[in-house]
Amino acid sequence: MEVLRTENLKKIYQTPSGEVRALDGVSVSIEEGEFVAVIGSSGSGKTTLLNMLGGLDTPTEGDVIVRGKRLGGMKGEELTVFRRRNVGFVFQNYNLMPILSVKENITLPLKLDGMGLDRDFLNRIVDSLGLRKKLNDLPEMLSGGQQQRVAIARALSTKPAVILADEPTGNLDSVTGTEVVGLLRLSAAAFHQTIVVVTHNEEIAQMADRMIRIEDGKVR
């Protein structure tokens, strides 16, 4: 079942030197449970695409459809609530709250949205990511790889339609990075979770079910 689709997405910026087409007619479809890598060099448009998929940026033309809902028709609070309930984010720099414990970071999206805690599901996430003994630790007590595991757990906690990971291995060494992407892949399978990873790393992209290659704002 299709969970995410873009229709002729365009993002055009006006600069002093002329028009820049960050995205130029991108149409993609992603199925439920797929683990997809969006790969491209710096400036190719891949992060712009990720921001569109997550409702963090607005296209100049075209639309994004998540779980049958068009993001283009949503504004303000409606879009914020929809994004919080349907999109999980994993960032390069983890974006954990430094004053909250690991457990509090993982459950923060649920509290922000007033959602009840599914303890069995939370326990499955914690155990699958090897965080059981770290739940009371603060982020500063963790390695980079461990912090990214917490970020993945947090993204999974709301059972979103899709998890979007922007260069999730960017701050990690190659061994730890491969391990983290392996955990994302395992999470996709274990929780039937759709995951889209943006990367410039060919080796990381090869671990996905499918690759979408972006160059000069177009799918190649």
Q: How far, in Å, are 82, 148, 170, 205 from residue 94 at the CA level?
A: 22, 6, 10, 20
Q: How far is CA 95 from CA 2, 38, 49, 64, 135, in A?
A: 29, 21, 20, 25, 17
User: Which helix (DSSP H) or strand (DSSP E) does residue 166 occupy?
Assistant: strand 162-166
The pLDDT score that the predictor gives to residue 212 is: 95
Q: Where are the alpha helices (DSSP H) in the chain?
A: 46-53, 76-86, 102-112, 119-128, 144-156, 174-190, 202-205
Q: How far apart are CA 2 and CA 33, in angstroms?
A: 9
- State pTM to two decimals: 0.89
User: Residue 52: how many CB atoms within 10 A of its CB?
Assistant: 24
Domain ranges of the chain: 2-219
Q: Do residues 9 and 52 lie in contact, with contact meaning Cβ atoms separated by under 8 Å?
A: yes
Q: Does domain 2-219 have CATH number 3.30.70.260?
A: no
- pLDDT, residue 85, reads 86
- Looking only at the bridges linking them, the beta strands covering 61-66 and 210-215 are unpaired
Q: What is the pLDDT of residue 116?
A: 78
Q: Quick one: pLDDT at residue 173?
A: 87
Neighbours of 68 (CB within 10 A): 10
**What pLDDT score was predicted for residue 123?**
92
Per-residue tokens: 49: 């695409």
pLDDT values of the chain reduced to their tens digit, one per residue, 220 residues: 899 999 999 999 998 988 999 999 999 999 999 999 999 988 889 999 999 999 999 999 999 999 999 999 898 889 988 988 899 999 888 899 999 999 999 999 888 877 777 889 899 989 988 999 999 999 999 999 999 999 999 998 888 989 999 988 888 888 888 888 888 888 888 888 999 999 988 988 999 999 999 999 999 8
How far apart (Å, rounded) are the C-alpha atoms in residues 106 and 152? 9
- Rounded Cα distance between 216 and 44, Å, is 5
Q: What distance in Å separates the CA atoms of residue 220 and residue 215, rounded to the nearest whole number?
A: 7
Determine the pLDDT at residue 109: 87
75 close to 82: Cβ distance less than 8 angstroms: no
Q: For residue 196, how many other CB atoms are within 10 A of its CB?
A: 24
